[in-house]
Structures are given as C-alpha cells and as structure tokens.
Structure 1
Amino acid sequence: MTEFFRIEHPSFDPATGEARLPYTLNDLNFTETLLLPQGADAETAGSAAFEKLLGLTALVLGVSYFKLRAPYAIHASGIALTAAERAFVIDVYENGLGEFYARNDLARFGKLTLTAPDDASERKPAPALPERTLLPIGGGKDSLVSVDLLTHTGQQFTPFAVNPKGPILTSVDAIGTPPVYVTRTLDPEMIRLGQLPGYYNGHVPSTAINSMIASLCAVLFGYNQIVLSNERSASEGNVVFDGRETNHQYSKSLGFELLIADTLANATGGALKYFSLLRPYSEARIASLFTKESRFDAVFSSCNRNFRLTGNDGHLWCGQCPKCHFVFLIFAPFMAKQRMLKIFGKNLLNEPANEQSFRELAGLTGQKPWECVGEILEAAACFYTLTRHADWHEDAVVRAIKADLFAQYGEEKLQLAMAECLTDSHDHHIPPALAAKVAAYAV
C-alpha cells in the first residue's frame, strides 16, 4: 500500500468556540480540537477570510499527525489552495519539519507531493479589523521585552497563548492585561502511537502552529496585527541535512516570517499583518533590553524543561540544559551579578560540570544544540566580554575556555562580533512608524 496523509475539511462552531480538525493517516483516523473563546460572531465565522484561515490552520497543525509515518503523499480534502498557499504548506512540511527529518534520518526535501483543489482567487475580501495587537506570550524573556517595548511606545495589545501554563500564566498575570487563551487538544491516539516502534516522533514547528491559531482569533475577535518576538539569531541553522540547512527555529526565522505574513495577508485581503518586533535584535541585545525592567524577574523562564502543567510548582530554571546556559551567558554582560543569581538561583558559569555545554554554545566543540539558542559567534562574543568583566572573569567555566576561545577566534574577531551583536539590523518588517518609536525607546 502506498502510504498517504489526508487533511479532512475542518469545522468550527461559533456558539461553543470549538474547532474540529480531522486527519487520516493510511487507515488511521484522528481528530484534534481547538477551543477558542466563546462569543464569536457567527457572520464573521462564516466569512471567506475565516474559512480560508481555518483550512490553512488544519493543514499546518497536521504536521503532528503526518510525522508518525512521514509519507510522501499529502492530500487536502476539500481545502482549496492557491499556488502560493501550496508553496507555504510544502514549506511547513519540509523546512518546518527539518529537524524531525534530520534526527530520524529521513530524506523528504523536494519529494513531498500535495494534492488539493485549486483556488483561483488571489485574495479574499478584507474583514474589518480594528487597529489592535495580538501578542503571543511564551513565558520567556523575548515576549516580555516586546511587552515593555509596546507599553512604552503606547501600543495597545492583548496577550495570547495556546495551552498556557507555568511561566506563561505568571507572566500574563504580571502584565495585568486580560489575555486571549486557546486550548489545543491533540488526539490521544497520536500521542500513544508516537511512543511505539514503527512510528516516528520529533520536533514540530510550534511557532507556525501557534501563529495559525492566533490568526483565527485575530479575525474572530478583531485584531489587525499579530506581533511575534523572534530575534534575528533565529535564522541561523543547526546542521546541513539532505542538501539544505536544517534549523531548530525555522518557523521563527525571517524567511518563514515573510512567507506566513504573505499567506495571512492574502487570506484576509490584506487586513491582517504579521511581523516580529524583535527582528532587528540579537539575543544579546534583547538581554540588554530586558535589564531595563525588573517586574518579570520572578515569573519568567526560558527553560523548556520547566514548563509545568499547572503553574510554577518547581524551579523556573533547571540550570542544566543548553537553554538555561545560553540565557545566563547573554544576560551576564549586562545584568548585575546579584540580580542574576536571584533569578537563576546559582552561578551557572562557576560549575565545572557545565563546561561542555557552554563549549558547544560557543562553537568550540560539537554542534549547535537543538534548542532555541542564539548564534554561535554571538555566544563566543559574550564569553569574550566576560573574560574582561570584573564580576565573571574568575568563574570556573570562563577560565576554562578562555584560551581555546581566543585561539579559535582571535580577540579582534570577538570584539567585532560583540559590536555587531549590539548593532540593530535594518532587515525587518516592522511598520515604519512603530519601528521609529521602538528604536527611540530602545537606545
């Protein structure tokens, strides 16, 4: 039997806020549900723009079921697509799943086929969307820097999250603005099968998934822009596999941002904008901006291991994973040491057991970790700064890697790299008026 994956036509009930997304993988049937806030207008829910976005959302969320077997043939049952939308979906299933393919040694690039009815219309009628911002909150430093930037530039925004937990809930509480939350329920049979022999498992493009869900809320509840918090470092890949660069953070990259922004604009007649507010900045620059505000110190976390199912019932930072190490590293040049130790609970740069992880981050051994961490040269540049920093230069890890750091890169290259980290890029798609206000505050 030739294996296939089919995305069935999704449904949405505005009375209950429930969307049902059915999928078929060979002889297996799955249904995923999304529970959006109640109170959606039935006419808006029946609009061409919402119907288009609902179909595209079903296609993107399908990656979670597709990857069980990763067949070559994908069918969209009754979901009409333009040529541009076909390219978008294939990109999600190829590059969005790039890490999944690399880690399972599956060659799929350029080999997937997508069968769907043709949609000859170029753009849907534009819904009337008020000038309001939907701001996804991840519970980490990045989206909270966006909160600070939007607040100080006078932009109204609503926090948004899918399946909020742990640091997301406590961060939104600290923000103090009523949020929009969506409950996503994966089919339990998919989760069960993913643990069995004969089925694959692995990374999916969560930013793409959550962005599509956000687009449904934007149209239903009246927001004309979705503002992400993805930094320029997210565009750097991890390894080359199957003839192309594979990036753990692909759906946070600038290339994908442009692709999904066009897709959402065309689906809504140009009414819905999508861009990242932090695209001009390196991770180090974002860390420096975070130090301007301390009200989130006790509630945020960028540690993926410590997103609890029900609130913060444990340490926010495990202190052992590459994500903890990277965030500690980029904060250290800019934040007072005592504040750092209060946030993290201990000095991660003074524990010899962490040396190997920090070496990987700085490109001194191994490969860039499969984590949402910044550029290798950026990490090396931050280490260089710490070798000359009164608070950090005597710490065990800094002393241990200093000689190798200088030997591999040279002081001049590291100095230039740090200067580059703190220089804002013009390669972004923030609306000009907002970009000017943000730049003035972020000096």
Structure 2
Amino acid sequence: MTETFRIERPSFDPATGKALFPFRLNDLAFTEVLTLPAGADASAAASPAFRKVLDLTALVLGVSYFKLRAPFAIEAPQIPLTAAERAFVIDVYENGLGEFYARNNLARFGKLTLSAPDDADERKPAIALPDRTLLPIGGGKDSLVSVDLLTHTGVDFTPFAVNPKGPILTSVEAIGAPPLYVTRTLDAEMIRLGQQEGYYNGHVPSTAINSMIAALCALLYGYSQIVLSNERSASEGNVMFDGRETNHQYSKSLGFELLIADTLANATGGALKYFSLLRPYSEARIASLFTQSTRFDAVFSSCNRNFRLTGNDGPLWCGDCPKCHFVFLIFAPFMKKERLLRIFGKNLLDTPANEHSFRELAGLTGQKPWECVGEILEAAACFYTLTRHADWHEDAVVRAVKADLFAQYGEEKLQLAMAECLTDSRDHHIPPALAARVAAYAV
C-alpha cells in the first residue's frame, strides 16, 4: 500500500479563537489546535486573505505529523493552491525538513509529490491592515536586539510568541509592552508515536511554523508587518546530504525569508510585509549590539534546553551545549569578562571538557553542530580575536586551539574574517526607510 499524508481543510471560530487543523497519515487521524486571543476581527476572519493564510498554515503545520513516516505523497484535496504556493509548500517539506532527512538517512529531495486543486487567482484582494508591527520574541539575544533597534528608531511593536515559557516570558516582562500569545496544542497521539519504533522523529522548521501562526494573528488583530530577528549567518548550512546542502536553520535563511514573504504578500494583496531586521548582521555584530545595554542580562537565554516540550526548571544557561558555547564565544570579544561570567555563571572557555565542542564550532574537527549557531569562519575569527585579548588569551580552550587555528586558517584570513563579520551586508529585505534609520542608529 502506498503511504500518503493528507491535509484536510482547517477551520477557525472567531467566537472561541480556536483554529482546528486535521491531518491523516495512512489510517491515523490527528487534530492540532491553535488557541488565539479574544478580540479577533470577524470581518478579517471572513476575508479571502485569511482563508488563504489559514490554508497555508495547515500545510506548514503538517510537517510535524508528516515526519512520523515521511511518505512520498502529500495530498490536500480541499485546499486550492497556485503554482507559487505549491513551490512554497514543497520547499517547506524538502528543505525545511532537510536536517530531519539527513539525520534519519531518508532520501526525499526532488521526490515528494503534492496533490491539490489549482487556484488560478495568483494574488488575493488586499486586506486593510493598520501600520503596526508584530515582533516574534524567542527569549534569546537576537529578538532583544531587534527590540532595541525598533525602540530607538521609533517603531511601536507588539511582542509575539507561541507557547511562551521561560526566557520568553521573562524577556517580554522586561520589554514592558503587552504581548500577543498563541497556544499551540499538538496532537498527543503524534507525540506518543514519535517515540515508538517504526516511526521517525526529528527537527522541524519551527520558524516557518511560528511565522505562519504570526501571519494569522497579523490579519485577525491588525498588523501590517511581521519583523523577524534572523541574522545572515543563518543561511549557512551544516552538511551535504542527498545531493543538497542541509541547514538546521533553513527557515531562518534569507532564501526562505524571500519565499515566505512573497507567499504572504500574494495571499494578502500586498498588505502584509515579512522581513528580518537583523539580516545585514553576523552573529558577532549582533553580540556587539547586545552589549550596549545590560537591560536583558538576567532574563535572556539562547540555550535550547529552555525550549523543550517539557520545559526546564534549571538555570538559563546549561553551559554544556554547542549553543551555550557559541553564544559565549561571540560575546567574549565585545563584553567585559566579569559581565559575561555573571550571565553564564562560569567561564566556558576555561573548562577543558568544552574543547571538542568549541573545535567543532570553529571548523577544527567534525561538522558544524545541528544547532542555531553562526558561520564556522565567524567562530574561528572570534577565537582569533581572543588569542590577542588580555582577558581571554590565557584561558584553557583558547590556548588549546590557538596553534591549530592559525595553522588551518592563517592570521591574515582570520583578521579579514573578523573585519567582514563587523561589516553590515546589503543583502536583506528590510524596507528602505526603516533600513536607513536602523543603520544610522546601529553604529
């Protein structure tokens, strides 16, 4: 029997704020529920633009259920799609799940089929949206730098999150603006099966998922733009698999940003904008901007152990994972040592057990970790800076990697790489007027 993943048409009830997303995988049935805040605009909920975005959201949410068996056939018999929307959906199920395929050794690139009715209407009628900004908050340094940039350039915004917990809640409290939160309830049977033999599990493109949920909220509660906080480093992949580069952060990449921005623009008649405010910046540049304020030092965290389904009652930073190591590494050249040690609670660069992880980050061994970390050469350049830094050059890991770092890259290449990290890219999708104001402030 040919295995098939089927996406049924979703529904939304403005009175309850509940959106239901039914899926079928062979003979298994699932329903995911989004609970949105009260006060949705009923007329917006009845618009062709909202219907289109709701349908597209169902297709993107479906990756969590599809991956249980990762069949080659995807069906959406009640959801009409344009040619561009088909390409968008296939991209989510191919590149968005690239890490999942690589780590489960599943060849799917170029082999998936999507069966759905044709939608001849390439662009939906425009929906009226007020000039307001929805800003997803992840609890880490990046979105908090966006908070600072928007605040200082006079752009009012509403913090947004799906299933907020831990550092997201503490960060939003520190921001001080009323947030917009959505509860996403995954089907419990899907979660159970993901732990069973005979079913697959793995990474899904969470930024794509949360972006579509944000788009629903933008239409229902009146926001004309969704501002992401994805840096240029997110476009670098991890490994080659099945003839294609796979990227843990694919749905944070510039390529995906342009694709989803175009998809949402067509769905809303050009009314909804989507872009990343931090796209011109490297991770190191973002770290340097973060250091300009101590406002969020005690509340933020980029450690993924804070964002697992089961949550985390421990410290904000575990100090053991590649994400903790990378963030510590890029802060070190720009932040006073005592401040950085206060944030992390210990010196991760003076712990010999961390050497292997730091070597992977700098490309001195293994592969780039399957984590939201920056470019390999960027990490190497930060290490180079630390070898010449009075605060850090004697720390155990810095001393241990110095010779290999210089042998592999050479001083000139590392010097140029660090200079490039601190030079803003013009390759971004920020509206020109806002880009000019941000560039004037972020010097």
TM-score w.r.t. length of structure 1 = 0.99
Partner SS for 1:33:
strand
Q: Distance in 2 between matches of 1:359 and 1:72?
A: 38
Contact 2:305–2:311, Cα closer than 8 Å, also in 1 = no
Equivalents in 1 of 2:307, 2:170: separation in Å?
Answer: 11
Secondary structure at the aligned position of 1:181 is classed as: strand
Residue number in structure 1 paired with 2:239? 239
Match of 1:287?
Answer: 287
Equivalences for residues 41-440 of structure 1 within 5 A: 41-307=41-307, 313-440=313-440
Identity of aligned residues (%): 87
Contact 2:10 2:54 in 1 (8 A): yes
Note if contact 1:227-1:277 (Cα within 8 Å) is conserved in structure 2.
Answer: yes
Give the CA deviation at 1:310.
9.1
For 2:115 and 2:227, the matched residues in 1 are separated by 32
Residues 329-373 of structure 1: CA deviation (Å, up to 9, x unaligned): 000000000000110000000000000000000000000000000
SS in 2 for 1:34: strand
Alpha-carbon deviations, 1:229-285, whole Å to 9, x = none? Answer: 000000000000000000000000000000000000000000000000000000000
Match of 1:12, SS state, is strand
Cα distance, 1:293 vs structure 2? 1.2
CA distance in 2, matches of 1:230, 1:238: 17
The residue matched to 1:151 in structure 2 has which SS?
helix
How far apart are the structure 2 equivalents of 1:309 and 1:187?
13
CA distance in 2 between partners of 1:348 and 1:428 (Å): 33
For residues 108-152 of structure 1, the C-alpha deviation after alignment (integer angstroms, 9 at most, x for no partner) is 000000000110001111111011000000000000000000000
* Matches of 2:409 and 2:310, distance apart in 1: 44
Unaligned runs of 5+ in 2: none
Residue 309 of structure 1 and its aligned partner are, at CA, apart by 6.9
CA distance in 1, matches of 2:307, 2:203: 17
Q: Is the 8 A contact 1:167 1:312 kept in 2?
A: no
Once the two structures are superposed, residues 294-350 of structure 1 have per-residue CA deviations (whole angstroms, 9 ceiling, x without a partner) of 110000000001337798732000000000000000000000000001100000000
> Would the aligned equivalents of 1:169 and 1:311 in 2 still touch at CA under 8 Å?
no
Residue 55 (structure 1) shift: 0.2
User: How far 1:39 sits from its partner (Å)?
Assistant: 1.4
* Equivalent residue pairs, number: 443
Look up the SS of the partner of 2:343 in the other structure.
helix
Q: Quickly say closer, same or farther: Cα 1:71–1:307, change in 2 above 3 A.
A: closer
Tell me if 1:5 matches 2:1: no
Tell me, in whole angstroms, the C-alpha distance in 1 between the residues paired with 2:158 and 2:187.
Answer: 29
Structure 1 residue 21 corresponds to structure 2 residue 21 = yes
Q: Rate the CA distance shift 1:181–1:51 in 2: closer, same or farther, 3 A.
A: same
Amino acid at match of 1:30: F
Once residues 304 and 275 of structure 1 are traced to their aligned partners in structure 2, the CA distance between those partners, rounded to angstroms, is 24
Cα distance change on mapping 1:197 and 1:311 into 2, 3 Å: closer
- Give the distance between the partners of 2:29 and 2:338, measured in 1 at CA: 54
Alignment check: 8 A CA contact 1:166 1:310 kept = no
Q: Deviations over 1:26-48 (max 9, x none)?
A: 00000000001111122211100
Amino acid at match of 2:70: A
Q: CA RMSD in A?
A: 0.9
Amino acid paired to 1:91: D
| Kept after mapping to 2: 8 A contact 1:165/1:308 | no
**CA distance in 1: counterparts of 2:108 and 2:262, whole angstroms:** 25
One-letter amino acid matched to 1:399: R
- SS for the counterpart of 2:58 is helix
